Amino acid sequence: MKISELLDPEAIVADLQAKDKGTALAELTDSLISCDPSLDRDEVIAVLQEREKLGSTGIGDGVAIPHGKLAGMPELKLVFGRSSSGVDFESMDGQPAYLFFLLIAPEESVGVHLKTLARISKLLKDAVVRKKLLDAPDQQAIYQVILDEEG
């Protein structure tokens, strides 16, 4: 399954306002909830914060992939966010994060969860792709970059 098939274009936040990790997680979660109001905001944030306690999901190169598993989720959900000013996400390289993929998966899923994380990591490992995502003018252009890269 492709990232573009899992990512609702409405779940793209082209201009994150957050300045810190907690606010970024909340802002990304709000985008998720706007696309799926059946989810409990506090529960999603709690799952993400628990995962962060194990180690930051800020993987470096300006990228963070906060993720977690939630009981009762029918399918995996993705949100993309971009911050023009950067967020201190306690990343491995000590640098701010600018590009975010938030991933919430059903509790019992293993394979699709790991495959999606690997796909996102592979996509964002490419400096050219990161630059295109940073330079895209709006939500639709960001989604188009992802579509083009998965071609």
- For the annotated catalytic residues, the residue numbers are 67
- The Cα angle at residue 39 between residues 20 and 102, in degrees rounded to 5: 40
What is the residue whose two structure tokens read 């949100």?
A: 79
- The Cα angle at residue 135 between residues 90 and 98, in degrees rounded to 5: 5
**Crossing angle for the helix pair 139-150 and 111-125, to the nearest 10 degrees:** 100
What is the residue whose two structure tokens read 């606010």?
A: 23
Joined together, the tokens standing for residue 5 give 């098939």
> Contact, 120 vs 3, CB < 8 A?
yes
Which H or E element spans position 58?
A: strand 58-60
Residue 127 pairs in a beta bridge with: none
